[in-house]
């Protein structure tokens, strides 16, 4: 089972005293692409105004630029702890049981615009780069799409894609049985199910947390759906290649 998560714009500061070491990251075939993205980001960081424009940062966000200026020597922490925001707050990795956290390290992968695919336990620094960031001489889609798709193709068994569609474009999952995009929906007052946007992140985070704490590695969608039903989670087959996670409309309206 592979759970493919999006990254987050927001990151937690701090970490241990070691610095970034590309040889310690999962998916070593991506090392050359990671080095290219790091070099382009570091070069852009030499011009704060150009970087602010490329990353679409306003005056109050200029502190984000320092993260990119110090990538080579910033402290690192596990990727699943580095990211914050709605999805990662709901996942709350710091409070996972030891067994659930071990399962996360073997089954959760995070798609970063800077590093490509990251294992949950990969040590990374804080940084700022998005799927649509403009780096000098480097297009992120050209850099990542084929190589990430190739890495995902090598995975056997169930792949559940929880990324936003923007990150899907930076590396699509293989089109095959047991490869699914997770769509979060809510039933309206008319009973019709509709996709939700910002609020789907909390639903995804809580779903991944429940799945990890159940400590089961599902081989296929049938097993996953049966487990969800036993927990009161409304997970069903949707359109071809999709699973639908239904949440309460009131749940979405609270955030």
Residue 254 has pLDDT above 50, yes or no: no
Contact between 68 and 110 under an 8 Å Cβ cutoff? The reply is no
Nearest to 67 by CA among 82, 86, 87: 82
Residue 243 has pLDDT above 60, yes or no: yes
57-66, 134-143, 186-195: lowest mean pLDDT where?
A: 186-195
Measured distance between the N- and C-terminal CA atoms of the chain, rounded to whole angstroms:
30
Q: What is the DSSP letter of 213?
A: H
pLDDT at 30: 98
95-104, 167-176, 190-199, 237-246: lowest mean pLDDT where?
A: 190-199
pLDDT digits (tens, 9 = 90+) for 74-83: 999 999 999 9
Residue 255 has pLDDT above 50, yes or no: no
For residues 64-88, average pLDDT = 92
Pairwise CA distance, residues 16 & 74, whole Å: 9
Contact between 244 and 185 under an 8 Å Cβ cutoff? The reply is yes
Q: Place 248 in a pLDDT band, splitting at 50, 70 and 90.
A: confident
Residue 63 has pLDDT above 80, yes or no: no
pLDDT at 194: 65
pTM passes above 0.95: no
């Amino acid at each position: 089972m592979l759970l493919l998560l999006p990254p987050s714009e927001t990151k937690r500061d701090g970490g241990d005293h070691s610095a970034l070491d590309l040889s310690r990251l999962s998916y070593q075939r991506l090392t050359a692409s990671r080095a290219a993205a790091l070099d382009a980001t570091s070069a852009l960081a030499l011009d704060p105004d150009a970087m602010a424009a490329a990353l679409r940062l306003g005056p109050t966000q200029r502190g984000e630029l320092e993260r990119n200026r110090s990538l080579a020597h910033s402290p690192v922490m596990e990727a699943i702890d580095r990211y914050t925001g709605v999805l990662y707050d709901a996942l709350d990795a710091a409070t996972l049981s030891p067994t659930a956290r071990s399962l996360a390290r073997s089954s959760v992968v995070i798609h970063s615009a800077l590093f490509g695919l990251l294992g949950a336990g990969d040590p990374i620094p804080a940084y700022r780069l998005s799927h649509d960031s403009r780096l000098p001489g480097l297009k992120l889609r050209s850099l990542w799409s084929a190589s990430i798709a190739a890495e995902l193709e090598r995975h056997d068994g169930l792949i559940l894609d929880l990324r936003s569609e923007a990150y899907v474009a930076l590396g699509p999952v293989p089109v095959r049985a047991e490869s699914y995009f997770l769509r979060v929906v809510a039933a309206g007052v008319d009973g019709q199910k509709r996709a939700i946007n910002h609020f789907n992140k909390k639903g995804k985070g809580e779903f991944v947390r429940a799945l990890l704490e159940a400590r089961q590695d599902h081989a296929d969608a049938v097993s996953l759906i049966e487990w969800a039903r036993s927990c009161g989670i409304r997970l069903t087959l949707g359109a071809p290649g999709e699973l639908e996670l239904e949440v309460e409309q009131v749940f979405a309206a609270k955030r």
